[in-house]
Structure 1
Amino acid sequence: MPITWNPELDTGIDVIDQQHRRIVNYINALEVANATRDRAAIGRTLDELVEYTISHFAFEESLQEEAGYAFSKPHKRVHELFVRRVNEYVERHRLGDDIGDELYKLLATWLVNHIKRDDSDYVGAVKANMIGIIAEKRERQDGGWFRRFFRRAA
């Protein structure tokens, strides 16, 4: 049964939510490939899923570090362990094992739990940092409130 995106999975950080939706699409594509027992399609989907997920993890970790999120290192460790676990499935697939259904269940369960539990923890810090960056950028573009005040007074 495919994963259906629902509002409970939204972090409120648009770029992260879009990336999570793309990962869901890969996981659902894996289920389709499993249903047809197309080993080549399963392999391609796995490769794409792993590559995209690793880049997503790196992006997410950089946002956490930049925001000074206190648990960025443990979060990164969770990602590393997960990648290692998925790579074991990839290797088993390459050796001829039928891992499709087992891996799909793992991915679907892990992703939903990870978003709801682990990712939701960093949202406050990352959002606050993003808001600060946007405000700082606007102030530079506007010349700051002090300059605007004297422009109006002149």
Structure 2
Amino acid sequence: MPINWTSDLDTGIPVIDQQHRRIVDFINDLEAAQVLGNQEKIKQVIYDCIDYTLSHFAFEESMQEEAGYPYCKPHKKVHELFTRKVAEYQQRMELGDDIAEELHGMLARWLVNHIKRDDADYVASVRASMTPVAAAPVEEKKAGGWLSRLFGR
């Protein structure tokens, strides 16, 4: 079942919310590829999702560090544990295991819980340190380029 973005997933930090929405898109794309049984599309979505999520983690961690968030290190540890778990799925996939359904379920549960619990904890620190320009909503860009890939489609 696809993840529908709901307001309770918003952190109130526009750039982070946009990145989280993009990760939700990847998770939903994985489900769609799985329904079609398209193994090449499944692999591509998984690789793209992993790449994007790692970039998101680095961006989120840098925002926390700049804000002086006191629990940066534990939050980074959560990201590292998640990354290891996903790497295990990726290895299994490369060995020929059909991991799409299992990975989809794990990603969906983990992301929602992570946003509502772990990410919610740093929001006040980060928002307090943001300049008004950085706190403004980010416009979606249709043009390609690294900024549009990082912050949306």
What TM-score do the two structures reach when normalised by structure 2?
0.85
- Residue 115 of structure 1 corresponds to 115
2:66 is matched with which residue?
A: 66
- Alignment match, 1:105: 105
The Cα of 1:38 is off from its aligned counterpart by 1.3
SS at match of 1:76: helix
1: CA distance between counterparts of 2:32 and 2:90?
17
CA–CA distance in structure 1, aligned partners of residues 69 and 22 of structure 2: 24
Bigger Rg, structure 1 or 2: 1
**What is residue 126 of structure 2 aligned with on the other side?**
126
Higher helix share: 1
Question: Hey, what's the Cα distance between the residues in 2 that align with 1:2 and 1:122?
Answer: 27
Q: Which runs of 5+ in 2 are unaligned?
A: 135-153
What does the per-residue CA deviation read over 1:20-60, in whole Å, with 9 as the maximum and x for residues that have no partner?
00000000000011111211111100100000000000000
> Partners in 2 of 1:55 and 1:32 — Cα distance?
23
Counterpart position of 2:92: 92
Runs of 4+, deviation exceeding 2 Å:
131-134
CA distance in 2, matches of 1:27, 1:87: 16
Q: C-alpha distance in 2, partners of 1:33/1:80?
A: 27
Task: Kindly state the Cα deviation for residue 131 of structure 1 after the two structures are TM-superposed.
Answer: 4.0
Partners of 2:131 and 2:59 in 1: how far apart? 18
How much does 1:133 deviate? Answer: 8.6
Q: Which residue of 2 aligns with 1:40?
A: 40
- Corresponding residue pairs, total: 134
Q: TM-score, normalised by structure 1?
A: 0.84
Which has the bigger relative contact order, CA under 8 A and spacing at least 6?
2
Q: Measure the CA separation in 2 of the matches of 1:45 and 1:90.
A: 12
What amino acid does structure 1 have at the position aligned with 2:22?
R
- Structure-1 separation of matches of 2:33 and 2:63: 33
In structure 1, list runs of 5 or more residues that go unmatched.
135-154
